[in-house]
Structure 1
């Protein structure tokens, strides 16, 4: 039997919030807050950092509020959790320090240590880690000799992320990950430990979240070994922590998307769906239509891989509705770069998993025709996918034509997705070994893979 969380409802009233007001801040229904307080439901991990901030308690205080107590406990006084007050009253937190943790990870990566993770459990546990007051403490407690950080340093991080991201999109993640990691550990590290205002600190954490996410994407794209898989997952989790501590819902959702895609790649379907739901929950705080399309497509993809056709179809339709809306203001975030071309590719593969092959082919051809997929790596992957869809349709000539273009783009790219596509194509072409075109494609693929 569920027990009412009297402490939770009392704390909400203490900070002057009604159920309706708290629900509006969290972008959930009032009935959801009512279920939390009645003990019939528990806030999802990705909701908790924001809920704690609204109730002005730390993570341990929120855990105490969320612990249901039987009616017998009502005879004793309910202790209010320690509130988060002004900076001078801030208690020390038992959370692992995000900056120290991510820099340790980066330095270990430079030393080529491996991180092997057995399941997607790490990805889900990462959602409860952010220390939402770390930037405030750093603003107050910077060492006297620490380097002063301003907008110039923030801009520098963003420029490096863009430059390295453009290179990775063109030639694959395997070419530049060590550059991203060394930049994090050697150049950005002193800034993260430096002296800055709270506003600058939030911007710095956001920019660093993008850099760390890029390192994770590069590790994921670089190879198919267990060590690199685990390494990517850790980078994504740290990117989420940095973004959540900066109170940046878009970057938080983007990091969660990275974790969701990682779980899909590793076959952890249930975790991928939960992380996709988290992406959508963060997306409700945003007005940018491309960002909303990005996260809705993530959940649709996870649901399709999990065999949930209803959920996949529903969220794919929502994603399509959002990507069709005009963008009022251009942005620099990765979600803002989710172009109609990228959407067409992802939706094409979702439709392929749902066995709607005609619609899948149409979306993949659309992805190739519209602006935004001119990067060699991206275009190569779309052409490989198009060849696979055409083969499933029984269009052998069309498949070989697409795969021929794929090979034109693939040479010189260091990407596990391209390597996997090459191997997949070679295996599928074995049944057509009597056709000269198939033999020629297999020989070209063997030359590229070495």
Structure 2
């Protein structure tokens, strides 16, 4: 079974790139499979005019069409990104490949890769501040360029650095797609993460592999709502990165703790949280994933764990402190505020719940973070019994306005 990247539909529907360019490669792939436009349309159950618009670049396939389109064309996630990208050269300021040598093969050196790494770092730094949909086009362009450069046959350190960058971009693309789909497009996110795992294994880089496995764990825990599968993946990530990265190991154990909490396993949850704290305290500048660790992560996950376990007052204390410290990370803060709203509601503190929910909505108006949207909508549903009260009605109106523009 093949799958397809949501990066393609986001380029149009989220305003990332100019779509008014013909997708010659998409048409060529269809022809290579022996399909006419009518034949592809028949396979997919759409009108021929729909396929014409896809190939003309004036429309993109809808998210639910991706798996069937991928299966019909027999393509991978990277190939789909390429097929649906605009067919232009590198953007201004982008690193150009060196001129071809006498053998006709272009060279890729460490300078070119370092410039791409800088662009990736800038994009990743934007994740917690900007809507994921607005970042998808840039991520897709980076992935396409990395794929092109990889075909030029870099060797030695340049090849390794390019592959490591590819693994990072694939993981980020999974995050962006899942978030932009409001955590609904599990298959595409998993596809990016699976490919990142494959690249990391080729590099024998256990830290990179652990990061991608941890992201797959998030999809199982918070998307598929399968804590048992999420727990298995969290422990796999922790075991994979244990010898190389206390940061990834600690984060994975935090999420193992949350999986235990979802399963009602309080004792195992406490053990996992304690082990996670020990690992996170060992993180230093020699850890390649040290940038993933912040002072707020333990409080954020511990608060969520105690909320799942029904220890609402204890959850409230962790979440209040964490929300105060998270002023510069809007997507994460929206999730914490949503959980804090739930802690207040379940203790009957409606005024506190409404004030916190309003603050969470303010963060979401800026970022449209899929995780935050899901938590906040859930909190609003729990406010249902008080919907006739004026303060609750006002915050529901704001949430409705957010929903219509999300």
Q: Which sits farther off after the overlay, 264-273 or 396-405?
A: 264-273
Alignment partner, residue 436 of structure 1: 390
Q: Which whole-Å CA distance do the structure 2 matches of 1:299 and 1:418 have between them?
A: 20
Does structure 1 retain, via aligned residues, the 8 Å contact 2:207–2:288? no
1:416 equivalenced with 2:375 (yes/no): no
Report how many aligned residue pairs link the two structures.
314
- Per-residue CA shift, 1:422-446, capped at 9, x if unaligned? 4223322221123221111111111
Q: Which whole-Å CA distance do the structure 2 matches of 1:356 and 1:322 have between them?
A: 25
Q: Residue 315 of structure 2 is aligned with which of 332, 353, 360?
A: 360
Structure 2: 5+ residue stretches without partners? 1-74, 87-101
Q: Which sits farther off after the overlay, 207-216 or 418-427?
A: 418-427
- 1:433 and 1:307, CA in 2 relative to 1: closer, same or farther beyond 3 A? closer
Structure 1: 5+ residue stretches without partners? 1-99, 112-142
Alignment partner, residue 159 of structure 1: 118
1:391 equivalenced with 2:348 (yes/no): no
Give how far 1:146 is off.
3.3
Does structure 2 retain, via aligned residues, the 8 Å contact 1:165–1:214? yes
Alignment partner, residue 7 of structure 2: none
Structure-1-length-normalised TM-score: 0.64
Alignment partner, residue 168 of structure 1: 127
Alignment partner, residue 344 of structure 1: 299
Q: Which sits farther off after the overlay, 398-407 or 145-154?
A: 145-154
Bigger CA radius of gyration: 1
Q: Which sits farther off after the overlay, 205-214 or 351-360?
A: 351-360
Does structure 2 retain, via aligned residues, the 8 Å contact 1:351–1:357? yes
Q: Which sits farther off after the overlay, 239-248 or 316-325?
A: 316-325
Q: Where does 1:176-325 land on structure 2 (aligned, <5 Å)?
A: 176-185=135-144, 187-224=145-182, 228-264=185-221, 265-286=223-244, 288-325=245-282
Give how far 1:387 is off.
0.8
For the aligned residues, what is the CA RMSD?
2.5
- Per-residue CA shift, 1:265-318, capped at 9, x if unaligned? 2133332222112111112112x4433311211222223223433332211111
Give how far 1:355 is off.
2.1
Q: Residue 329 of structure 1 is aligned with which of 276, 285, 296?
A: 285
Q: Which whole-Å CA distance do the structure 2 matches of 1:163 and 1:431 have between them?
A: 44
SS at match of 1:168: coil
- 1:433 and 1:180, CA in 2 relative to 1: closer, same or farther beyond 3 A? same
SS at match of 1:297: helix
- Per-residue CA shift, 1:151-184, capped at 9, x if unaligned? 2233223222222222221123222112211221
Does structure 1 retain, via aligned residues, the 8 Å contact 2:183–2:370? no
- 1:373 and 1:233, CA in 2 relative to 1: closer, same or farther beyond 3 A? farther
Alignment partner, residue 335 of structure 2: 381
Structure-2-length-normalised TM-score: 0.71
1:447 equivalenced with 2:401 (yes/no): yes
Give how far 1:239 is off.
1.0
Alignment partner, residue 56 of structure 1: none
Does structure 1 retain, via aligned residues, the 8 Å contact 2:131–2:180? yes
Alignment partner, residue 73 of structure 1: none
Give how far 1:260 is off.
0.9
